[in-house]
Amino acid sequence: MPRPNWREESVNVAGIDVHFYCGGEGPPLVLLHGGEPNSGWLQHHQALAEQFSVYAPSHPGFGHTPGLAWVATIADMALFYLWFLDAVGLARTHLVGHDIGGWLAADMATACPHVVDHLVLVDAMGLKPQHSEIRDIFLITLAEVRAQSFFDTTQVPEWQQLYGQPPTPEAADRAEEALETLVRLCWKPYMHEFRLPGLLPRITRPTLIVWGREDAITPLECGDLYQKSILGSRLAVLDACGHCPQLEQPQAFAEVVRSFLH
Amino acid sequence: MQVYYFTELPYHEYPDEEGAKYPSLRLTFPNTYYDPHKAHDLFHRYLDEYQYCEEMGFDGLMLNEHHNTPSCMNATMNLIGSILARNTRNAKILLLGNVLPIWDNPLRLAEEIAMLDILSNGRIISGFVRGTGVESVSSNTNPAYNRERFEEAHDLIVKTWTTPGPFRWEGKHYHYRVVNPWSVPIQKPHPPIWVPGTSSPETAEWAARHGYTYVAFLTPLNMTKELFGMYRTAAAEVHQTVTENNFGYLLCCYVADNEAKAQEEAKHFIWRMGETTRGPREYFAPPGYRSRIASQIAARRRTSESKPLGQQNIEELQANYHVVAGTPDTVLKKLRFLKDELNMGHLVFYGQESRMSHKATMRSIELFGKEVMPALREW
């Protein structure tokens, strides 16, 4: 059996061991996951690893990495991840984030623009839409969240691997912990931050915003707002795609990102 | 044994088929189904019933509080408590309880309860609760901090009542430059504090460490014993003396002149057990609201050891001692069994629900007061 070309590692940051997946060769690329536990190494990781050294860390308090009491907001976690970049020795990296991972990436780029090579925000939380609402995932069941997260679940190639089986007790526990931490971080204001629109103009690095046109969680309007707030950024909208392009259309997603990073 | 009368001040004045269209009667059931004029009549009717309980010799009158639900119109129990403080003379006023975590300014709550204690001339029993998830969501209080806020607000309130001001408070969730309210309680060192429990071992243990009276709210008998046992263990660890006064039991109860009438009226409790507790977990226990252990116990409460309350018929509810109904003789026998099983010093007589009429409610209060209460006095 061939050895996988990715591995699991950990690095000490702020007194805790941060779990991360890494693989591939090339310039560094940090991929920040959304509000669920780190999904593990999937097709989109592999596709990006063909050209980049991909680091996919697990957020503190989301199952694989212990939580930190002082991480009470996304802004706190952004500072934590800037520390993480120091710890793994990345002075400058591409930064890709989905959902709250996109919010984190945007926050990191406003706080410390020089560490970002290129920035990619994917169906990102963080901004309050003016004409629509971010779907309140805290008041609906996990099954409803799943249903709302995809335009067409039958086109998710890794559906069976991700959601086809009932979770193991360990996986269920991680999911519960992740949801609890997500509530801690994002309950109020819900999934957005008052200061972010004021800070986004500080981002001058090349920025791509990727959005599923049919995103029923974070409306496309938020993608427009990010695009308008970050000078020179571009919005790429994927048709027939929901909130998770990296899962619903992993190859198309990777292609859009790779061509931007070239 | 001391007995306290309780009603949730229900508003069951909408068509049931309308309520059934919504995922829950709590949180999101539209308030367009609420008619303030009907509520006016109900509030005054319920207040009359409370006052009659004092005439019938009840030791106390219990109030509670919920939000966004027809099961309980009492959205701020201290308001109703202040009316009772003025309109009654002897009965204890049991607030069970104020929902601590949803207060952003618990110092104001310390003042309100102190004022109630002054107005009632020291008749307040101050219960504190964490609230259901619905209370967290309706007040938009982060459920992940529910227990932390509960404990810190409690510490602040007790210190406010017991430590001469002014002093400063720099906590995690609450911060005050000057704590020095002029309203302090009549009762010293402070009004008795009670805590209800439904499933969280942490709550039983916390109450035990503080020596507070712990009242089981609709937990099955075996689980009630288990939670009382956890209380005793935790109390022993900190050398707190435990007597029957440390325990209470809430019981839906109807007393009638004959068994048939009792059974007919007891059916009003079914709405409370079933329809008003229907809804998704996300409403009642949002993520972070409960610890893992408490979630496991809550799950047991819903499944393996007893059917969920909402799925029990009236016979099962009575067999499981959530509801007791009958003539005074029948009720006394069942209460004797409960007393022998649990040895609690306090009984909450949950005496009215749903569409139970004023007349029927008053008769049950009268029969309980005249024919059941005298025997309980000796227990």
Render pLDDT for A118-148 as a digit per residue (tens, 0 to 9).
999 999 999 999 999 999 999 999 899 999 9
Alpha-helical (H) ranges within chain A are 43-49, 74-88, 100-111, 142-149, 159-163, 169-186, 196-199, 220-229, 245-248, 250-261
**Is residue A119 within 8 Å of residue A205, measured between CB atoms?**
yes
Measure Cα distances from B224 to A2, B208, B249 in Å.
57, 14, 9
The per-residue pLDDT for range B89-102, each reduced to its tens digit, is 999 999 999 999 99
DSSP type of residue A167: P
The mean predicted confidence, pLDDT, of chain A is: 96
Which residue does chain A place closest to B133, by CA atoms?
A139
Predicted local distance difference test score (pLDDT) of residue B302: 59
For residue B376 the two structure tokens come to 């309980």
**Is residue B217 within 8 Å of residue B197, measured between CB atoms?**
yes
The per-residue pLDDT for range A77-121, each reduced to its tens digit, is 999 999 999 999 999 999 999 999 999 999 999 999 999 999 999
Cβ pair A183:B280 closer than 8 A: no
The per-residue pLDDT for range B271-315, each reduced to its tens digit, is 999 999 999 999 999 988 877 667 766 666 655 466 888 899 999
A172 touches chain B (CB under 8 A): no
B148 touches chain A (CB under 8 A): no
Q: Is the peptide bond before B189 cis (omega within 30 degrees of 0)?
A: yes
User: Nearest CB to B144: which of A140, A141, A184?
Assistant: A184
Cβ pair B282:A176 closer than 8 A: no
Least confident of A60-64, A255-259, B198-202, B277-281: B198-202
DSSP type of residue B169: E
**Is residue B62 within 8 Å of residue B70, measured between CB atoms?**
no
Predicted local distance difference test score (pLDDT) of residue B304: 47
**Is residue B50 within 8 Å of residue B84, measured between CB atoms?**
yes
For residue B280, give how far its alpha carbon lies from the nearest alpha carbon of chain A (Å): 8
Q: CA-based angle A94:A243:B133, to the nearest 5?
A: 110
Our measurement of the distance from residue B302's CA atom to the centroid of its chain's CA atoms, rounded to an integer in Å, reads 20
In order, the DSSP letters of B20-58 are: TTSS-SSSSS-GGG--HHHHHHHHHHHHHHHHHHHHTT-
CA distance linking residue B86 with residue B79, whole number of Å: 11
Backbone dihedral angles phi then psi of residue A98, each to the nearest 5 degrees:
-115, 140
Q: Which residues of A touch B292 (CB under 8 A)?
A: 173, 176
Q: Is B170 exposed, middle or buried (0-12, 13-18, 19+ CB in 10 A)?
A: exposed
Which residue does chain B place closest to A176, by CA atoms?
B287
Residue B328 has pLDDT above 90, yes or no: yes
Q: Which residues contact B118 (CB under 8 A, 6 or more apart)?
A: B183, B185, B186
Q: CA-based angle A113:A186:A122, to the nearest 5?
A: 50
In order, the DSSP letters of B76-107 are: -HHHHHHHHHHH-SSSEEEEEEEEGGG-S-HH
SS3 of residue B136 by DSSP = helix
pTM: 0.95
Our measurement of the distance from residue A90's CA atom to the centroid of its chain's CA atoms, rounded to an integer in Å, reads 18
Taking the CB of residue B291, how many other CB atoms lie within 10 A of it?
14
User: Taking a contact as any Cβ pair under 8 Å apart, which residues of chain B between 288 and 347 contact chain A?
Assistant: 288, 292
Cβ pair A176:B286 closer than 8 A: no
The per-residue pLDDT for range A186-200, each reduced to its tens digit, is 999 999 999 999 999
B137 touches chain A (CB under 8 A): yes
**Is residue B19 within 8 Å of residue B25, measured between CB atoms?**
yes
